[in-house]
Amino acid sequence: MAGYTDVAFRTIAVREGADCTYTELISAEGTLRDSKNTFSLLSRSPEETYWGVQIFASSPYAAGKAVEKILSLVTPTLFDLNCGCPAPKVVQHGGGAALLKDPSLIYLIVKTMNESTSLPITVKIRSGWDAESINYMETADAALQGGASLVCLHPRTRTQGYGGKSDWSHLANLKSSLSIPVFGSGDLFTPHDVIRMMETTRCDGVMIARGAVGNPFIFAQVKALMQGTPPLKIPKEKRLAVALMHLDLAISSLGEPLACREMRKHFCAYVKGIEGSAAFRNKIVHAETREQYYRLVEEFTQSHSS
C-alpha cells in the first residue's frame, strides 16, 4: 500500500508475526529511468526474511528489464506483478488494474518476468474491471500460463475500488480450479475474518493489507486462532509502545521531519477505538518532532490510566 507499507511498517509487521512482506508498488518504468525515488522503495529490513518486490508495468519489455535492474541491486525472495491496484496514477499509465482488460498482456508480462529470473513470480489480480467484465478466471489462467507460481485475488472490481463488499465466492471458484496456490485478500480486518475466508474459500493463504494499518497485532492473533487460542485484546499500553517503536524505525529510515509527518496517520490508526482518543488524534496530527510524539503519548497515557 503506497504511503503505508514502507520498511518501518513492514519491520513492525514482521515483529508482530507477518510471514512475508512486500515492498510498496514500484514502477518498472521508474527503474529504467534510474529514478532515485523508485530505488528508495527497495530498502529492506534485516528482519524481513521473506521479502517480495512488487512492481507495476504496462509492457513486457519494461517488466523484464525492471527485474534485471532490481536484481543488480537487491535479491528478493520473489517478484510480484500487481494487476489489481485501482489508483488512477497507476491505471492511467497502463499498469495495475488496467491489465485486467487484457489477459494476453498479463501472460506476456509474466512470461517475460519469468524468463528474466529464476525467482518465483506472484501475481495480484481483481475480479475484473467492472461488474460487466468479471474475468478473474481468465486473468488468473493467463498468469499461470506465463509461469506464475501463485495468484492472489482481491475479489472486488477496479470500479469498486475499496467500496462495497468483496465477493469471496470468486475466491472459492478460483481456488477450486487453479493448479497453483491461490491467496485471498479483501475485507480482512479481524483474525476471525481471516479464518472465515480460509475456511469458506479453501484458499492457501491470505494477504492482509488495510487490516494491518494501526493493527499489526492481527498477524499473531490469526496464528493464535488457528491453533485454537482465542485472540487476546491488545491493551492500550502495548498499542502505544508499538506505535512509538514504529516512529523510531521511521525516523531511522526517513529522517525525523518526514517520519513525523508520515506517522500522523499511523498513530491515528493505532489509537482508533481507544477511549478518549479523539482529543489525542487532534493533537498528534500536528506533531512535528519525536519529542512531541513521546510527550503527547505520555500525557494521553497519564490522563487515561486505568
Strands 21-22 and 51-56: parallel
Report the distance separating Cα 76 and Cα 99, nearest Å.
Answer: 24
Residues belonging to the active site: 85
- Nearest C-alpha neighbor of 105 from the set 169, 165, 173, 58: 58
- Nearest C-alpha neighbor of 52 from the set 31, 35, 74: 74
Report the distance separating Cα 98 and Cα 304, nearest Å.
Answer: 48
Which residues lie across from 54 on neighbouring strands?
80
> Residues 66-96, buried b or exposed e (16+ Cβ, 10 A)?
bbebbeeeeebbbbbbbbbbbeeebbeebbb
